[in-house]
């Protein structure tokens, strides 16, 4: 399941237009790793009784935003699958094993957008792209929303997005049976980029 996060993890991010972006917002943005203003999180049902939450602590990427034509924007993300963190060391070890992410063989998950489809109001967008996780590449859709953009206190320019998607573990070759309520994984990606 973690794999999926990674990819989508996707990572991520989209070039949605939740707020009408001015021409000055166009450009290439690097993920704000230094400020740690980014999260790739996931949740999956535990036996249908509760939710198990987790995240990937190490990932990086960038996005390009075209204010005049947001559909021409793009995003690329890479995730260190070994960095999966569910706040439980033994569980994380199991998730890294061949039962799930097989991080020894597949240490990285990636997402690369192929196209972005804006909604009629220009408030949200579907980011369609290829997620490679557990050695499997599959097209997924991230439902994304722009949170905001503008100048920061340090003389830079920032833009933030949030996106979510649902992944089927079996689609990425993760066949471990966790029960009927745990066949899918929900991912939430929150990114803040700094224009380069």
**Mean pLDDT over residues 161-168, rounded?**
96
Q: What is the pLDDT of residues 141-158, one digit of tens each?
A: 999 999 999 999 999 999
Question: C-alpha distances in angstroms, 34 versus 31, 37, 58, 68, 93?
Answer: 9, 8, 12, 29, 27
The domains located in the chain, with CATH, are: 2-195 (2.40.128.110)
- pLDDT of residue 15 exceeding 80, the answer is no
Q: What is the pLDDT of residue 181?
A: 92
Q: What is the pLDDT of residues 105-125, one digit of tens each?
A: 999 999 999 999 988 776 789
Determine what percent of the chain is predicted with pLDDT higher than 90. 79
**Mean pLDDT over residues 129-139, rounded?**
98
User: What is this structure's pTM?
Assistant: 0.85
């Amino acid at each position: 399941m973690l794999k999926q996060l990674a990819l989508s993890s996707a990572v991520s991010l989209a070039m949605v237009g939740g707020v009408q972006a001015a021409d000055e917002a166009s450009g290439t943005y690097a993920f704000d790793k230094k400020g740690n203003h980014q999260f790739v999180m996931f949740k999956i049902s535990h036996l249908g009784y509760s939710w198990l939450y987790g995240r990937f602590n190490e990932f990086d990427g960038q996005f390009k935003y075209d204010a005049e034509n947001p559909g021409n924007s793009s995003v690329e993300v890479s995730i260190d699958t070994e960095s999966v963190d569910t706040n439980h060391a033994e569980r994380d070890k199991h998730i890294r094993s061949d039962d799930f992410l097989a991080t020894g063989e597949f240490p990285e998950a990636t997402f690369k957008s192929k196209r972005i489809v804006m909604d009629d109001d220009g408030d949200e967008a579907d980011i369609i792209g290829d997620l490679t996780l557990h050695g499997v590449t599959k097209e997924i859709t991230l439902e994304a929303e722009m949170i905001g953009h503008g100048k920061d206190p340090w003389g830079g320019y920032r833009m933030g997005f949030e996106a979510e998607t649902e992944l089927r573990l079996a689609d990425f070759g993760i066949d471990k049976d966790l029960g009927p309520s745990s066949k899918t994984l929900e991912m939430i990606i929150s990114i803040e980029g700094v224009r380069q």
